[in-house]
Chain A
Amino acid sequence: MKSKVYVTGIGIVSAIGLGKDEHMENLWNGETGLRSLTHLSTVKQGLFPAGEVPLTDTELYDKIQNLGIRPDHQSRTLLLGTLALEEALEQAGENVLQGRVGFIGASSVGGLRQTETYYEQYKHGGVESRRFQTHDAADCIEEMARVLGIDGFVTNINTACASATHAIILGSRMIRAGLLDTVIVGGADALTKVTINGFDSLFLLAKDQCRPFDRDRSGINLGEGAGFLVLQSDKSRKRSGSQALATISGFGVRNDAYHATSTSPNARGLTAAMSEALLLAELRPTEIDYVNAHGTATPNNDLTEGVALQRVFGERMPYFSSTKAFTGHTLAAAGAIEGIFSILALQHQVIPPNLNFEHPIEQHGLVPQQESITAKVEHTMSNSMGMGGYCSTVIFSKI
């Protein structure tokens, strides 16, 4: 008998707030975090709305200055991640970091913001050269683990925009395999010039607020943030006295194996990941009450993801929404942020809305949930897809 996987702590930072309470309030009120960039310095500041966390690095640092982050390891990704991680650990309680503990973090940019700022000095030598150690995600994740006293298995995953969902799944698998008692999983990514310009070079950015699942959607708004979840085995949870918020009842990982940047017409990878998750959870499609879709608002994603949802759920489509019009696409953090929204839906018995929707996509005609409503929510599903064909799905269930 595999151990059940319990979620006992969640922590979140995004453009719509610091902490789960602000997120719940803004999701319920339909308050978007998308606006013009102010903190990231780029010539594209006014061109593309983004989900930027409305605090400077100094303001973020002030909130966690007691933790002893080393200055030469500091990056915006680290600050965002540490804030979310601290909240998650606080909720799970002070005894949670005992036994076999692990930390699985996802980040696609790490300290890239320093790299793009100091690149000439990195390359040719200079007083800031030493900061290169912050370049990769490993440094960020390891420093977070260090300041919050997580001593044990530490790794990091990069499966592009599916990264944090892959991290949640690896943590769940390690608990089920009996390798860890407690594992903190999630992701963090800051906005960077490289990402804005990279997505712009691919013509994937929307010039106005993104419109997931709408016929006239024109692309992505990028975002930044972090989300972390504390996962525990039953035994570990009882020992630490942590309160269970939800269980992770199923998950699936597949590859679409179709194209480097776009999804196959019938989204076979995501369809297979969702089906695998349902099978593992021993749930029928009709038992899923809400799907937090990947829903990036690109023409390709929302068309193919809709087809996948139809293939899995048929005529009886559960409530579904993409919350990317609240937070923007937070890349490697997206799976954790949206996983947390899926847990909030279970805890508060609500459906987070899909903003900016007007007309359904002709080919599948799907209509996402547009208003916040209360509903009976027993099982929720969160989908992620990343460039490189990575597809992953997690199912959360009510306690």
Chain B
Amino acid sequence: MRLAISASSCINPGVFSQTEDTEASAAADFQVQAVDYKEHIEARQLRRLSKVAKMGIYSAKACLAKTEKQQAESLIVATNTGGFSALDSFISSMIEKQEQNLSPVYFLQSLLSDVTGQIVLSLGIEGYTTTYTNRGGAFESSLLDAKILLEEQPNQTVLVGGTDELPASYSDIIRHSNFLDTGGQEGQASDIPLGENAIFFALNTQIEEGDVIISDCQSYLGLAPEQANEKLQAFLSTNAGVIPDLVLSGFYNEEQFSSYFPGLEAKKNVVLFKQYCGEFPTSTAFGVWLAEQVLKGEISPEALGLPETLLAKNILIINQFRASNFSFTLLSTNQ
């Protein structure tokens, strides 16, 4: 896999926000609040969109606006909670009104496939489009699909995104059901802030000097700590034994991370990246975006609490979701 990131966009309420949305990071959860959607979406259209579709369209358009041809031929989206707010409204009114006189708008917005369809309509993408929904593996599947697609049809831009929404109904349910606590060593999951984001990348295989490259991404289901460590060693050795300069970890604390990957932590600069975005199923997209920003010099090592002198050329993202989905994604600068 060698995918060049020709542009990216991230809607996110944390300190690295590209919109006005920085204040929200003081809140317990990372909810997107202060985006001026009208910059990229007509007012008429805005009223009929779910939050995930608004965020998705905005971010997808902002991403393509930074590319030379301002268009993509194909679109691959990862989402697991997209449309949940609308689903909550639809189910609640279905119960309350005993299945009578329900609004089709909420039903349509509740479909996980809707965000992709809405982006397609906004951008007029007529090529390959698909949506992955498998929690902490969905964004990873999207990258894999983009890689295969760019081998099949090389001369194109594939727009790949990860987006999830976090309405109050969803965060309530997550906490009532202890969804993130799977009974293993990640027992402190209930303390982690949740998040919502829309992060898009324009990918191609016309790699030029200085481009940020996604050089590999592998995902796994249900690994025990020792298995995860074995998979990581295998991943690093298939990537020419690369020693990453920086590791962005999607674990919640250092103890948890080092119980899976003993030995790695001591030698590496490890940053727990969910402190900047919260937990959400497609969070690897945020990890990839953060890594890209660091490699491009847009975000300094100091901003991540790292030594100013750190010159990162390879960044490894090690992510987990519910200690069930695991993934390793490697980014580097093409030289």
Contacts and interface: CB of A to CB of B under 8 A. Distances in A.
B113 A160 contact: yes
B64 to A, nearest CB: 15
Interface in B188-243: 219, 221-222
Interface in B76-130: 80, 87-88, 90-92, 94-95, 98-100, 102-104, 107-108, 110-114, 116-118, 120-121, 124-130
Contacts of B138: 155
A257 B121 contact: yes
A193 B221 CA distance: 31
Given A194-B91, A257-B125, A154 B107 contact: no
Contact of A201 (B88, B107, B124, B177): B107
B111 A160 contact: yes
Nearest to B123: A257
B74 to A, nearest CB: 9
A122 B80 CA distance: 17
Contacts of A388: 111, 113-114, 116-118, 120, 129, 131
B70 interface: no
A160 B120 CA distance: 15
Given A155-B134, A198-B90, A132 B179 contact: yes
A253 B130 contact: yes
Contacts of B178: 129-130
Q: How large is the interface on A (under 10, 10 to 19, 20 to 34, 35 or more residues)?
A: 35 or more
Contacts, number: 182
A179 interface: yes
A390 B113 contact: yes
A268 B148 contact: no
B1 to A, nearest CB: 11
Contacts of B141: 155
A129 B111 contact: no
B94 A125 contact: no
A130 B88 CA distance: 17
A136 B80 contact: yes
Interface string A113-144: 00110011011111001111100111001100
A68 to B, nearest CB: 15
Contacts of B69: none
Interface in B170-195: 172-174, 176-179
B127 A255 contact: yes
Contact of A170 (B94, B125, B145): B145
A123 B176 contact: yes
A43 interface: yes
Give the residue among A108, A126, A155 with the most B Cβ atoms within 10 A: A155
Contacts of A43: 98-100
B132 interface: yes
Contact of B132 (A156, A272, A390): A156
Nearest to B108: A260
B133 interface: yes
A373 B173 CA distance: 53
B173 A123 contact: yes
Contacts of B13: none
Given A120-B95, A174-B148, A156 B134 contact: yes
A118 to B, nearest CB: 10
A169 to B, nearest CB: 9
B191 to A, nearest CB: 18
B91 A173 contact: no
B152 interface: yes
Contacts of B95: 119-120
B90 A260 contact: no
B133 A201 contact: no
Nearest to A133: B179
Contacts of B137: 138, 154-155
A255 B107 contact: no
B126 A269 contact: yes
B148 A193 contact: no
A133 B173 CA distance: 10
A221 B116 CA distance: 26
A43 B163 CA distance: 35
B114 A116 contact: no
B41 to A, nearest CB: 15
Contacts of A387: 108, 111, 113-114, 117
Interface string A184-214: 0000000001100111111000000000000
A130 B128 contact: no
A26 interface: no
Given A155-B132, A157-B132, A260 B126 contact: no
A254 interface: yes
Query: Closest 6 A-B residue pairs measured CB to CB?
Result: A388-B117, A198-B107, A132-B177, A201-B104, A155-B141, A138-B134
27 contacts: A43-B100, A108-B112, A122-B176, A122-B177, A137-B134, A138-B135, A142-B324, A155-B132, A158-B133, A159-B129, A159-B131, A170-B130, A170-B145, A177-B151, A179-B144, A197-B94, A198-B102, A201-B104, A254-B127, A255-B128, A257-B126, A258-B121, A272-B126, A388-B114, A388-B116, A390-B113, A390-B129
Interface of B: 75, 80, 87-88, 90-92, 94-95, 98-100, 102-104, 107-108, 110-114, 116-118, 120-121, 124-135, 137-138, 141, 144-145, 148, 151-152, 169, 172-174, 176-179, 219, 221-222, 324
Given A173-B152, A257-B125, 6 more contacts: A108-B113, A129-B176, A137-B133, A146-B222, A193-B94, A197-B90
